[in-house]
Structure 1
Amino acid sequence: IFSEAEGDQLLQEIRAVEVPQDVRRRIEFFSSQFELMETAGAQFEYLTKDTVRLAGTEWAQATAADSGRDRMKDLGCQTRNGLSVRNLMTLLMFAKAMAYFRGSPAVALEDVRQVLPFVLNDKLQPDLDAPFFALPENAPYRSDRLSWLRWLLDASNAEYDRLDLDRDDPVGELSAQFQRGLDGMTETETRKRLTRIERLVEERVKGRKLYGHLYDDLLKLKYLHQRYTNYLHWLRAR
């Protein structure tokens, strides 16, 4: 039995466990799969399952109108909701605890893989009418939610590897670049970054069907473009 002081110390040490960038990026990629609902709204930011839920729209009607994507390939078609910030924070904390009790100073992907099904078991709701669950080989996942959630993570990681995002992740690089701050950036450099963002947007919308991770990338790029544009206006006004 831990004393209150020992419990506080344990919590501090667990929180101090590092989550490496490559693991964070894979969690981010996983979570991006589930929010998109392309027919939910007229404005780009509102193409989400939350929009459908808050509007009280019939789920079957919303999914019937959502066509064009490969519903077997798209992991987001297997769920009725996305993940909240609280869900992700809880996942990170439990992954840190798993790493801590294994004696590791940093979270590994396997730590995430082991705790994710238990953290999200009552959070990520399956759409049992999705084509994925109709396949005979996937029938056990209708009741075995823990195995289904682990399968989702494995499938997300396989797609991450296929896209080679560990080595070629321009959106992640732009996000990291922005996080370093804007102090002292020149107008020339700002314009250069804006041009790169515009090219990436053009590449991602050209001839592609919208999937969850692509939608997430476009939202990030739009945000970065707005921030750099505002900064450019500020530079000119000085």
Structure 2
Amino acid sequence: MKAIKVLVSAYEASGKTTITSKIKDALVINFDRKEYGFNVPHANFNNYEGMSSVINFINEKINKYKDHFKALPKVVVLDTVTQLYSAMARYNGAKYTGFNIHSQNNADTLDFNAYVEKILIGNGISVVIVAHTTVDPDSGRHIIPASGQFSKAGSWLSVVNDALFIEKASGKLVVHLKGFKYPTRTTLKDVEDKIAIEDFDINAYLDKLLASKTESEKFVL
């Protein structure tokens, strides 16, 4: 069973949730502490009590999805991991002190990424990671906030092979698929640098990524 991980990032109110709400056969896990505004299968996560509470919640909602639709979701959308990470940091900051806060943040991040890779991807469920971005005042680069070793390793961009960025310029939304200016990368050989959001079909893009992964795995020894 083939599955992929894709990062979708942008500033606040730049169309991240709108574009990912169009993904077919998806279950959205909403971490944003507000009601999800689209009529697609979703679950609102509101009470962080350690990373196990997140993993158990996602597993429970996947089982509910399977009971209702008689199949596993093809995609789990995590919207947004930025808010999930903030909830984790608040919880650990209140529960631990000193270096133990950073140590627990690192441990929880590793546990979550291992769950995504080994359980979700391992069971053929693709994962779309939605994240907010900010501009680093020192480098001027667009970054996805994190802390500790995870931040130094490249944050959520470091755990995916494919990432797109939605730019809001002059009142128009543009999807960037590759280039160095924004947090983007792609495993596709023939793809445009950017495309107007109204011309971008996220389902067709995910299908191409899946096909590309299937093709490349023929060469794995």
TM-score for both structures, normalised by structure 2? 0.28
Instruction: With a CA cutoff of 8 Å and minimum separation of 6, indicate the structure with the bigger relative contact order.
Output: 2
Please state which structure has a larger fraction of its residues in helix: 1
When normalised by structure 1's length, the TM-score is 0.27
* Greater C-alpha Rg: 1
Query: Which structure: greater strand fraction?
Result: 2
